[in-house]
Structure 1
Amino acid sequence: MSTDLVEWLVEHEPEFRKSRLPSLYSDLAQQKSANADGFAANASAWQAALTRASLAGQLPTEQKIIIQTSARLLDALRSPQYGRPTGLGAVFDSAVHSGRFVDLKGFNAAEQSIYQKSWIPSPWAIIRWSLRQAGLLGRGSYDQDGGLKQGQLVVVEGLENLSSQLQSRVGPAVTDRIMSREAFAQLVSETEIGSLTTIEIETLLRFLSRDKYALTYDAHTVKFKARSSERPDLITQEDSTIASIKSLIASLEVQISAMTSRVATLQNTAQAAVQSKNKHAAMSALRSKKLAERNLQQRAATLNQLEEVYARIEQAADQVQVMQVMQSSAQALKSLNSRVGGVEAVDEIMDDLRMQMGQVDKVGQVISEPLDGKTVLDEGELDDEFEALEKEELARKEELQAEGTRAKLAALESAEKAAKQKASEAADRQTQDDALEAELSSSSQKLERMHLDDGQIHDETQRKEGTQLLAE
């Protein structure tokens, strides 16, 4: 067991690499006075390792969020090479002072939250009263001559981890936030940490109620707060009824599942007895099957009725929640309207606003008037200046029109020149074509005459040759 735990720490804890084991397994109590920095580093590594191992269920106990300090823990941490860790009690003392671990007795007996300032002498320490309960102030510590005092320490990191997981798993509806203690324990078992013991469940409920204000609970019912509320509501009779119905429905579902399996098993048993021609065994199995089927039908009918009632309760609870929201909304509107003062007050304010805006306009007109109130503008001068501006504008327009006309004439002249040039080029090309055609015609006639002359010469030659042959 000890070898397995040490190997697990080496594998899962970065600070527990093999090169650091000699320092971690040295005399930590002596190191605390001789080398404060080294002790702080080793203590932090041990606290993180013990926390992780405890939440993972690797320590020699069934509990996960409560560490049992005893010689058994030292034996579990024994290294084959370095032996048991010496002075581990000093590490637990440091963890309690820093608030990472809290003594279980002090935790359960406290009425104030562990996060209240009155608990801590510094931002990283637990209340002195809790330390006295743990025997850390005035009555020694967890370190007993290198050994380890027997005790129980609550792992605060585990409680905070569970708090976050549970609140994220609870639905927003009223009926989702209400459950029995058994259902709460089942919800805890579905988290990463897994199932907890009865003592741990009680510790977790106390933490969620007193320190996190996440829920209220009694001997049978647990009620989470609404997400929009700062604190949970008290448990009512309706809440207890809802929790009981949910618990009974869950129980019936388990029973029906078991009965369904039993019916199937008895059916198989009867078939096997028939095949082996064992009538007595077959009849016995069939009788048991009939009784099981009857009980199954009764349980199924009861479950259907409870589910229908629960659906009605859910509907009524939602309606109550809607009505509460509507009522609070109406109160908010009423309060806002009372602050407005009604329609008459609004009309009066608007009239006053219009009057003040008119005053602003009047003041603006007065400011814009000339300082010499007797100054009068000469209307004739204004007419003459206006006429001059008109003449100037007319001249500018005429100049623009003249420029446009000149541009158009220039464009026409350019187009005419281009047309004439194209016509001249076309005439030149026609003259050249005519001359070429005449030249080709003359050449053709010469070739024809040459062809006729060649034919005559050829005929004369043939005639002379024929005559010569006859003479011979």
Structure 2
Amino acid sequence: MSDLLNLIIGQGEHFRRARLPSLYSDFTLQRYSNPDGFAANTAAWIDALTKAARAGLLPSDGADRDTLSLRTGENLLRSLETKEWGRPLALRTVIDEAVSQRNMIPYQEFVAARKSIHSRNWTVQPWWLFTWGLKQLRLLDSSTGAGPLPLASFVILPNVEEAASMIVSQMGSHRNQIDRTYPMSMFSTEAGRILKSQNGLTKSDLHLILTYLARDKSNIIYDAETVKFKAVGETSSTLSIQDKTIASLKMLIADLSTQVAVLTTRISTLSESAQKAINNKNRTSALAALRSKKVSETALTGRSETLAQLEEVYGKIEQAADQVAILRVMEASTGVLRNLHAQVGGIDRVEDIIEGLRDEMGKVDEIGGAIEAGPQRDSVIDESAVAEELESLEKQTSIRDEEKGARQTQERLAIITKNKESQQERKDDPLELSSDDRAPDPPIKEVIGC
């Protein structure tokens, strides 16, 4: 099974084995008889084709695989064919549904659009017109999707949006204008690295990304050689000479850096070759290798000096760009401060406000002092009344103590009386007398003879 089929059939819930007969059947009529089943099948196929394109597994005319678009036709049907279920019979219906949902857009319509595809006034027509024309010619049956799949290219909008978002977040987030300007080749290489494209961006993918970022998102300005990410709030629509110069300088530095690396590797290789020739007693080969080494060393010296000069110029440009940015911020800050000072009204107004504030704060203190002092002047304590209340409390306490003592005395007398009565009862009892009238036991000291 091909990588494409492994990816699609390995999607789990959408393409589980029990659903494959339905997914590969002509389910076009289910649009009316079973809308839920129709929606589930079309959604599964649209999602599968989107992921397959993103993975670079859809067939293409050349060796390069596009990730942002797909091409319908016999090659696509053949790549999706299986021994058990054959070809997907409703694939044309799936493409129609994807176009109606704006998951896919006819390639030429996308590229030729002057307005943003997100505009409410923008509509997709060519695919529908083409299908309608075939129906009028009775080449297509509206009740089935099993007819021949027309040859056409479609932009996969979710893939374009995702790719654009990743590129902007990593390449367009720099604050410095220099870092946001790229030569076209460097932009293509870096974008391919971000999107993890093994062979870099194809021409089609690069064209779609540039179109979408410039027209639909207004993130970039570009021409055939330069790409510049706009700063926040920037409204310019054309590249300046400064932008193009920066891009050219970056390209020269990148080319010279590559040449320096190649020459360095070549010099090392020639040194090894010369050493091997000497070890093999091959003087002629050793001399040839050393001569080539000297030529490479001379070229390396020249390239390195030029590269150092260009890098110095690039550093100065970066410094100047930073200074321009700082001056713009300072200029804007000056305007803000001037506006704020105008709202303040000058130093005289400030002094008047502060003086008035002091007066009002003084009034608050005066009012507070009057409130605190007022009750103290009006309240006079009657000392004689306080003394009388104290004497009354002392008398009440003394009476409570006397009553408590009397109760305790009565309780003790009751206990004594009760004990005497108990003793009298024991005397009257003969058994108690026989035991109680016995002579008491001698003291312990007498028993032990002490």
Q: Same fold (TM over 0.5)?
A: yes
Measured at CA, do residues 189 and 13 of structure 1 come closer, stay the same or move farther in structure 2, by a change above 3 Å?
Answer: farther
Paired with 2:216 and 2:390, the residues of 1 have a C-alpha distance of 89
- The equivalent of 2:21 in structure 1 is 22
| Distance apart, 1:340 and its partner CA | 3.5
Q: How many angstroms apart in 2 are the aligned matches of 1:236 and 1:316?
A: 16
Secondary structure at the residue paired with 1:148? Answer: coil
Q: Which amino acid aligns with 1:24?
A: L
By how many angstroms is 1:4 displaced? 3.7
Q: CA deviation at 1:341?
A: 3.2
1:239 aligns with 2:238: no
Distance 2:386 2:48 in 1: 95
Question: 1:431-450 maps to which residues of 2 (within 5 A)?
Answer: none
| Residue 200, structure 1, aligned to residue 201, structure 2 | no
Q: Does 1:139 align with 2:133?
A: yes
1:48-85 deviations in Å (ceiling 9; x for gaps)? 00000001011112111111111100000001111111
Cα distance between partner residues in 2 of 1:399 and 1:220: 109
Asked if 2 retains the 8 angstrom alpha-carbon contact of 1:54 and 1:67, the reply is yes
Residue 158 of structure 2: aligned partner: 157
Q: Secondary structure of the equivalent of 1:102?
A: strand
* Aligned partner letter, 1:251: D
Q: 1:115 aligns with which of 115, 118, 128?
A: 118
Q: What amino acid is the match of 2:41?
A: N
The equivalent residue for 1:294 is 298
- Relative to structure 1, the CA distance from residue 118 to residue 348 in structure 2 (aligned partners, 3 Å threshold; closer, same or farther) is farther
What displacement does 1:165 show? 1.2
Tell me by how many angstroms 1:46 deviates: 0.4
2:222 is equivalent to residue 217 of structure 1: yes
SS in 2 for 1:28: coil
Trace 1:25-424 onto structure 2 (pairs within 5 A).
Answer: 25-61=24-60, 62-119=65-122, 127=123, 130-132=124-126, 135=129, 138-140=132-134, 146-170=147-171, 171-194=174-197, 195-226=200-231, 228-229=232-233, 234-346=238-350, 386-388=380-382, 390-392=383-385
Name the CA shift for 1:137/1:360 in 2 (closer, same or farther; >3 Å): farther
Residue 396 (structure 1) shift: 7.3
User: How has the CA–CA distance of structure 1 residues 202 and 359 changed in structure 2, closer, same or farther, with 3 Å as cutoff?
Assistant: same
Cα distance between partner residues in 2 of 1:337 and 1:162: 47
The alpha carbon displacement at 1:200 in A equals 1.5
C-alpha spacing 1:399/1:112, structure 2 compared with 1 (3 Å): farther
Once residues 146 and 17 of structure 2 are traced to their aligned partners in structure 1, the CA distance between those partners, rounded to angstroms, is 26
Q: Is the 8 A contact 1:105 1:133 kept in 2?
A: no
Structure 2 distance, partners of 1:354, 1:54, is 75
In 2: Cα distance, 1:337 partner to 1:331 partner: 10
Farther off after superposition, 269-278 or 230-239 = 230-239
Provide the rounded CA distance (Å) in 1 between the counterparts of 2:44 and 2:241.
49
User: What one-letter code is carried by the residue in structure 2 that aligns with 1:238?
Assistant: Q
Note if contact 1:113-1:211 (Cα within 8 Å) is conserved in structure 2. Answer: yes
Query: Matched residues in 2 for 1:200 and 1:192: separation?
Result: 11
For residues 291 and 27 of structure 2, the distance between their equivalents in structure 1, rounded to whole angstroms, comes to 71
Moved more, 137-146 or 209-218: 137-146
CA contact (8 A) 2:92 2:146 kept: no
Q: Which amino acid aligns with 1:245?
A: L
Give unmatched runs, 5+ long, in structure 1. Answer: 120-126, 369-381, 403-441, 444-472
Distance 1:395 1:8, change over 3 A: same
Distance 1:400 1:329 in 2: 78
DSSP-derived class of the 1:117 partner: coil
CA contact (8 A) 1:3 1:79 kept: no
Kindly tell me: are residues 233 and 336 of structure 1, through their superposed partners in 2, closer, same or farther at Cα, counting changes over 3 Å? farther
Mapped to 1, the partners of 2:130 and 2:196 lie a distance apart of: 30
Greater shift, 279-288 or 45-54, is seen at 279-288
Give the direction of change, closer, same or farther, for the CA distance of 1:394–1:100 in structure 2 (3 Å limit): farther
Q: What is the Cα deviation at residue 230 of structure 1?
A: 6.6
- Label 1:326 to 1:139 Cα distance change in 2 as closer, same or farther (>3 A): farther
Q: What residue identity is the alignment partner of 2:276?
A: A
> How far did residue 225 of structure 1 move?
2.1
**Distance in 1 between the 2:244 and 2:389 partners?**
97
CA distance in 2, matches of 1:273, 1:63: 49
User: CA 1:255 to 1:308, structure 2 compared with 1: closer, same or farther past 3 Å?
Assistant: same
Q: Deviations over 1:226-277 (max 9, x none)?
A: 2x43756642211111111111111111111111111111112112222222
> Within 2, Cα distance between the matches of 1:401 and 1:318?
91
- 1:198–1:394: structure 2 CA closer, same or farther, 3 Å change rule? farther
- How many angstroms does 1:337 deviate by? 2.5
Aligned equivalents of 2:394 and 2:177: distance in 1?
Answer: 86
Give the paired residue count. 379
Contact 1:56 1:193 in 2 (8 A): no
Q: Is the 8 A contact 1:87 1:147 kept in 2?
A: no
Q: CA deviation at 1:154?
A: 0.8
Residue 26 of structure 1 and its aligned partner are, at CA, apart by 0.6
Q: Does structure 2 retain, via aligned residues, the 8 Å contact 1:185–1:196?
A: yes
Partners of 2:89 and 2:146 within 8 A in 1: no
Deviation at 1:20, TM superposition (A): 1.2
Which secondary structure state, in structure 2, belongs to the residue aligned with residue 216 of structure 1? strand
Q: How far is 1:335 from its partner?
A: 2.2
Q: Quick one: which amino acid aligns to residue 155 of structure 1?
A: I
Distance 1:351 1:274, change over 3 A: closer
1:345 to partner: Cα distance? 4.5
In structure 2, relative to structure 1, the CA distance for the partners of 1:234 and 1:356 (3 Å cut) is farther
State how far apart, in whole Å, the 1-side matches of 2:298 and 2:313 are.
Answer: 23
For the 8 Å contact 1:273–1:282, the answer to whether it is kept is yes
Q: Classify 1:394/1:311 alpha carbon distance in 2 versus 1 (closer, same or farther; 3 Å).
A: farther
Amino acid at match of 2:230: K
**C-alpha distance in structure 2 between counterparts of 1:262 and 1:342, whole Å:** 73
CA deviation string 1:148-187 (max 9, x = no partner)? 1111111111111112211221233221111111111011
Unaligned runs of 5+ in 2: 372-376, 396-448
